[in-house]
Amino acid sequence: MLNSVPSRDDHSTPPPGRVRLSPDERRRQLLGIGLRKFVERPAMDLSLDEVATEAGVSRGLLFHYFPTKALFHEAVVAAAGRRVLRTVRPDPDASGEEAIRQLAERFIAQIVRRHDFYLALVYGQSGPLADLDDPGATATSLRSGIAEHVCRALPATDPRVAHAWVAYVEDRALQLPPGSELHALTTHCVTALRALSRIS
C-alpha cells in the first residue's frame, strides 16, 4: 500500500495550484488575469507577483512570456483594446444603417456597463494602442478602429466624419446618467451620423 503513494520526487503531476498549460494557453491565462485586474488600478501599477501567484506560476515563468514588466503592461492594454473592438463590431452579415445601429448600440452598452474599464483603457493607460509619450493616443487609436467599422458599413462616409461620430457617441455614453434607457441614445446617435454625413 505504501508503494501507491507518490514520492516527494514524483513530478508527473503539477504541484497544487499549478496547472500545466500549453505556451499559448499560459500566455492567454496571464493576460486574462491582467485584464481582470486592469479596472482596479492603472496598468503600470499591476503587481506581477500577484499575477504570477494567481496563475500558480513563478515570477520567473511570467517573465519567460513577458520579458519585462512594461511588455506585460503593454500586452494587457492591447488585449483590452482588442476586446472592446471585438465586442462592438457589427454582425458579419449586417450592413448599412443596420450595422451602424448595432455598432452604436454595442459601443454605448460597452461604455455604460463597463464604465471604469473603458475609462482606464482610453484615458489611464499606455501601450501598443498608444504612444507612450501621448497618453491620449489610446483613445485615438481605439476610436479609429471603431471608425473603420463605420466606413465598412457605409463606404461613402468620410473617415473624418466617422471618427468625429465615434468620439461623439463615446462622449454621450460617458455622460449618460445611471439607469438611463440605452435605446433612445442609440437612435439619437444613428440619426446624428446621418446629419454629420449630410453636412460634411
pLDDT tens digits, one per residue of 4-18:
433 333 333 344 455
Picking from 44, 39, 32, 57, the residue whose alpha carbon sits closest to that of residue 117 is 39
List the domains of the chain with CATH numbers. Answer: 21-199 (1.10.357.10)
Spell out, as residue ranges, where the chain has pLDDT lower than 70: 1-19, 39, 41-44, 124-139, 200
Closest by CA position to 100, among listed 141, 178, 161 = 161
Structure confidence at residue 104 (pLDDT) = 97
Q: How far is it, in rounded angstroms, from Cα 189 to Cα 196? A: 10
Separation between Cα atoms, residue 191 and residue 199, nearest integer Å: 13
State the pLDDT at residue 4.
Answer: 40
3-state DSSP assignment of residue 131: strand
DSSP 11: -
Count Cβ atoms below 10 Å from residue 162 Cβ, excluding itself.
26
